[in-house]
């Protein structure tokens, strides 16, 4: 069965410092993995996706994530945080099921960015 664990419920950084949001997954298949971002009172927006091509995936707004099969991890990073990055981030694994792709969401990590 597929599952995803986000290791931190809250992360706080200063503007201009690096961001690291941690995600571990469990999958009996070769997984497809996503990071989504949700700004306050908004819907979810796709940041990036891993689909068994390059292990280092670049997304929008300077974010990237590295797929590490040996560690079953898919951590999200950004070299320099911006105030506009304050949001909730969801790590998601895709599980093929009955002809469609079921998405299994982590509980989310709330990122706060301080001046």
Contact positions toward another protein, by CB under 8 A? Answer: 9, 32, 34, 36, 41-46, 49, 51, 90, 94, 96, 98-103, 105-108
- Which residue is it, tokens 């201009």? 16
Smallest separation (angstroms) from another protein to the CB of 14: 25
Q: Which is nearer to another protein, 15 or 38 (CB)?
A: 38
Smallest separation (angstroms) from another protein to the CB of 50: 9
Spatial neighbors of 4 by CB under 8 A, at least 6 apart, are 23, 24, 25, 26, 91, 92, 93, 104, 105, 106
Smallest separation (angstroms) from another protein to the CB of 115: 27
Using alpha carbons, list the distances in angstroms from residue 40 to 3, 105, 113. Answer: 25, 18, 14
């Amino acid at each position: 069965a597929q599952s995803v664990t986000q290791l931190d419920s809250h992360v706080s950084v200063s503007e201009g410092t690096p961001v690291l949001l941690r995600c571990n997954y469990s999958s009996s298949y070769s997984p497809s993995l996503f990071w989504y971002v949700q700004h306050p009172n908004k819907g979810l927006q796709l940041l990036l996706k891993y689909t068994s091509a390059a292990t280092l995936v670049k997304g929008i707004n300077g974010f990237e994530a590295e797929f590490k099969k040996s560690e079953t991890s898919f951590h999200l990073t950004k070299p320099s945080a911006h105030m506009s990055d304050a949001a909730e981030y969801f790590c998601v694994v895709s599980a093929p099921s009955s002809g469609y792709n079921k998405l299994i969401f982590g509980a989310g990590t709330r990122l706060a960015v301080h001046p």
